[in-house]
Amino acid sequence: MASAGLGADLLLANEVLDEARLRSMVDTARQHDARVTVAVDSPATIAAAATAGVREVLIDVDVGLPRCGVMPDAAGDLAMRAAEVGLVVRGVMGYEGHLQMDLDPSRRAERVREAMIALRSAHRDVGGDIVSAGGTGTHRDLVIGLDDPAGVTEVQAGSYALMDTDYMRHDAGFVPAIDLIGTVISVGARHGVIDVGLKALGMDHGPPTIDGAAVWFCSDEHITFAPDDGSLPRLGDRIRVRPAHLDPTVARHQVMWLVDGDTVVEPWPIDMRHW
């Protein structure tokens, strides 16, 4: 992102122990006058950041998703450890990922508020100007600003930019902007088969969607589907497939094609393939 000029103040919202990777990131950021902050949640990640030349960090706080982050009452001590080795602690971050797919708006809003109150309690001990949280599924539930006891200063939503069918259930105000294009390679008595399968899709959030058709099943290199109106596709037809989970789907491909209607504008290489 720094090399592409996509931001002068960037956050790596993840723990990294690989000092070589961190050092490479720091060097690239300096070449492009970009400010890069890294999340830490342990003495080991603090040590890796400091050794690699990282200057600024956020304390990652567990707000209910059992993944990364320290418990809120331990955040202050960790911030002191970071300061002792010369790091600047800019604030805290927390990810309420366990609430992203809660489709009950009132329940989700209440639970998000509870998570953000826990994050703000950690922020009181840590200090700094940043309280970073949120995602595509909860962005509407967050209060922006520190006047509210559950307020945050930035939202880490990402999937909104392209969307997938799992997030589309939220009616979050965004439209899908990504499809896989398959070709009908076989036609049966009641179904068609396209050359898009498990090797092209992230399936952990369920099967993909084809508008106006029922997806029967996915196999390694195929999707078997049937149009809702009982018609049959023709060999060679091009079929749009919408993935249920965007992130791992993108990571399975070498390039995305930016289009405007039916006009291909340009290819976007996927540098982070398989990472």
Segment 36-53, tens digit of pLDDT? 999 999 999 999 999 999
In a domain, 114, yes or no: yes
Q: Are residue 60 and residue 121 in the same domain, yes or no?
A: yes
Domain region containing 60 = 9-157
Residue 45 phi, psi dihedral angles, 5° rounding: -70, -30
Q: Is residue 274 part of a domain?
A: no
Instruction: Check whether residue 150 and residue 17 sit in a common domain.
Output: yes
Q: Are residues 153 and 246 in the same domain?
A: no
Other CB atoms closer than 10 Å to residue 10's CB: what's the count?
A: 16
Check whether residue 141 and residue 189 sit in a common domain: no
Q: Is the pLDDT of residue 7 over 90?
A: no
Clarify whether residues 106 and 210 are in a common domain. Answer: no
Residue 148 and residue 191 share a domain: no
Residue 221 lies in a domain: yes
Residue 170 within any structural domain of the chain: no
How many domains does the chain divide into? Answer: 2
What confidence category does residue 171 fall into, taking pLDDT thresholds of 50, 70 and 90?
A: confident
- CB neighbours of 173 closer than 8 A, spacing ≥ 6? 140
Q: Confidence class of residue 146 from pLDDT cuts 50, 70 and 90?
A: very high
pLDDT at residue 273, as a whole number = 73
User: What are 26's strand-pairing partners?
Assistant: none
Task: Give the pLDDT of residue 131.
Answer: 98
Q: Give the mean pLDDT of the chain.
A: 95
Determine the Cα–Cα distance for residues 22 and 173; give it in Å rounded to an integer.
36
State the pTM of this model. Answer: 0.92
Residue 18 sits in the same domain as residue 136: yes
3-class state of residue 259 by DSSP: strand
Counting residues of the chain whose pLDDT is more than 90, the rounded percentage is 92
How far is the C-alpha of 202 from the C-alpha of 78, rounded, in Å?
Answer: 36
